[in-house]
Amino acid sequence: MRSALVAIAFLFVAVPATAEPTAPQPVVRTTIEPAQVVVGQPATLVVEVLAPNYMTAPPGMPDFQLPNAITRAGSTINTSDRQGDVDYAGIRYGFLIYPQEAGAYAVSGQTITVTFADNPPHTSQTEVAVPAANFEAVVPDAASGLDPFISATRLTLQQEIQHPAEPLKVGDAVTRIVTIEAEGAPAMLLPPTAFAPIAGTRMYRREPELNDHFDQGSDVLSAVRTDRATYMLEAAGTITFQALEIAWWNATDHSVEQARTDPQSFTVTGGPPASRGTSDRGGLSSPRRVVLFVLEHWLAVLSAIVALAVLIWALPPIVRNLNSRVRHQREAYRQSEAFAFNELRRFAGRGDARLSYSALLLWLSRFAPTASSGTISSLTRWAKDPILTQEIAALEHQLFAAAPAQTTWSGGRLISAIGSARGKAGLQRRQWTAAHSLPSDINPQSSIVRLRQLSRPVAR
């Protein structure tokens, strides 16, 4: 009898627990393929975000950035599923993760914010953990000798030489433009061009241009890196632009290939030949020729005299205004990031470690990604460039360490790595501008207004 009462009591206790089933919750699923990729080639992370009924706002997605890797957003499509008696609606996101070094990579510790109609029209918001996903990046044995290691499905190397009409002479400028185009690799992973100094010239290297284009339909990433260097001709002779060569891993054919430009040579003369004109005035003396010229062109001479008088009268205020403008522009430039970088490049080129370090700190305070903190650690965290981190560490060790460093810092390598960081910042700025720019047809009524203005009758 006692056991029967216990069973009945248990039944009454259990009924409320099963009378209200747990409400369906959002679901996040992840896959990553392939499990092993070549360094520089993408592993595709697919994240499915599903919610019962429907989502009332886009999910709050992380960017899935990983150390020593570059993550780009891929295609996005709507999806649906049915689990038991519950219909789920959601979005499937694709992310392309490009590893920069060999090793294991893991997507973990991420959450997604999901806002959904739990009991329409009532909405609810919750945080859903992203299931962990792993992959590995390797360098093929056949490409172990490549330094740096570059992988792509297609890569071309082109150059353009811009110069005045030949023959070239001292004082002219020659610009060498080198363009690397690749598919299957982001522009930030393409190598910088090593412009060699040439005797008899002074070289000025410009900042690289990095551009990426992602085809949402085919999930193909195309990249272009353009490097420019201008050579000022300072001496007569022959200048030669040496051949450039890039060894890269063809991820489609699984082989090492070479991209190459041919050398080009130019002859530089000491200066333009003296001009020798001919006279049709016979044996007239120089004063007579001057008088004859004035008589023949008196109107042009009079106009020139009047213009010169006006210029002399108006010149002082113009000069003062110009000087003030030049001073403001010079001061604005001295406060700019470009000035700080040029100072850093000048000291690094001289091999002066202490002045280079001071210039580096000044540049950090003006470099947009690190301006808020102005610290070296913020730069290395943002850039994620092992070469940059290594060169800065070597510079600090040389200045502040008690024991001598095993490896000395290189001003050239430091400036090259910082140049790549500036190119990365420029690319991110252009991408942000493109993503936040207003559409061209935001004011469709403007064309109607213009037509009305054009059709307005002329006042009499």
Q: What is the pLDDT of residues 262-290, one digit of tens each?
A: 999 999 997 543 233 333 444 444 554 56
The CB-based long-range contact list for 446-455 (8 Å cut-off, 24+ gap) reads none
Q: Is residue 441 predicted with pLDDT exceeding 60? A: no
Average pLDDT over residues 138-163: 93
**Structure confidence by residue, pLDDT tens digits, 325-364:** 888 788 788 888 888 889 888 888 888 888 888 888 888 8
Residue 292's pLDDT is 53
357 Cβ neighbours under 8 A, 6+ residues apart = 395, 396, 399
Give the span between the Cα atoms of 33 and 69, in whole angstroms: 16
Average pLDDT over residues 184-213: 90
Residue 439's pLDDT is 56
**Structure confidence by residue, pLDDT tens digits, 248-269:** 999 999 999 999 999 999 999 9
Average pLDDT over residues 429-456: 57
Contact between residue 193 and residue 257 where contact means Cβ atoms under 8 Å apart: no
Q: Is residue 447 predicted with pLDDT exceeding 50? A: no
**Structure confidence by residue, pLDDT tens digits, 139-150:** 999 998 988 899
Q: Is residue 128 predicted with pLDDT exceeding 90? A: yes
Judged by average pLDDT, the poorest of 57-61, 85-89, 361-365 is 361-365
Judged by average pLDDT, the poorest of 132-136, 309-313, 322-326, 437-441 is 437-441
Report the chain's mean pLDDT, rounded to a whole number: 82
Domain boundaries, the chain: 17-138, 141-269, 297-334, 337-431
49 Cβ neighbours under 8 A, 6+ residues apart = 26, 27, 28, 55, 59, 61, 90, 91, 92, 93, 112, 114, 128
Contact between residue 408 and residue 395 where contact means Cβ atoms under 8 Å apart: no
Average pLDDT over residues 148-171: 92
307 Cβ neighbours under 8 A, 6+ residues apart = none
Q: Quickly state the pLDDT bin for 452 (edges 50, 70, 90).
A: very low
User: What 3 state SS string does 54-112 have?
Assistant: CECCCCECCCCCCCCEEEEEEEEEEEEEEECCEEEEEEEEEEEEEECCCEEEEECCCEE
The pTM of this model reads 0.52
Q: Is residue 243 predicted with pLDDT exceeding 70? A: yes
Fold designation for 17-138? Immunoglobulin-like (2.60.40)
Contact between residue 48 and residue 29 where contact means Cβ atoms under 8 Å apart: yes
Q: Is residue 20 predicted with pLDDT exceeding 60? A: no
Q: Is residue 6 predicted with pLDDT exceeding 90? A: no
